[in-house]
Amino acid sequence: MGGPEDVDGFLELAIANIDLAARSFHDTAIKIAAVTNGTLLFNVRVEGDPDFQRIAAISYTRSPTCIIVLLRDGTAARWCRVDTSFDIFLIPLEHWASLPLTDQAQSKYQAYSSLLAAALRNKQLVKCED
């Protein structure tokens, strides 16, 4: 895979062609991370958000982190890049995702996913409509 522009081109194509009826959002995020030489940091539910159902983050060695959101109705996804100013939201979610399942079940992450969703909306990084 080439530079960030090559990754962005693939991301654009992959997100536009997601078939959420055939593959889960989680499996799709894993596949996108794998084929773009990224690392899936987390895939979390966003409880009670008016626009987003799930948010996944993929990190890259030489590119900014990619955020993929599953829209509330579950039929479409969008993506954007975020800079290090978003680390305050990403790091706690990445930490939660790295915990064993038993610890995840006992830990709360919902506030962080809601804050991330609000920050994405506030910065207008993800369009919720076509």
In a domain, residue 22? The reply is yes
**130 falls within a domain:** no
Q: Do 71 and 77 touch, CB atoms closer than 8 A?
A: yes
Amino acid at 37: N
Query: For the segment 32-77, what is each residue's pLDDT rounded down to a tens digit?
Result: 888 888 999 999 999 999 999 999 999 998 889 999 999 998 888 8
Q: Around Cβ 109, how many Cβ atoms within 10 Å?
A: 18
Domain that includes residue 63, residue range: 4-122
Residue 82 lies in a domain: yes
Domain-embedded: residue 45:
yes
Q: Does residue 34 lie in a domain region?
A: yes
- Considering the domain boundaries, does residue 25 fall inside one? yes
Number of folded domains in the chain?
Answer: 1
127 within domain boundaries: no
Q: Note the pLDDT tens digit of each residue in 95-110.
A: 999 999 999 988 888 8
* 24 occurs within a structural domain: yes
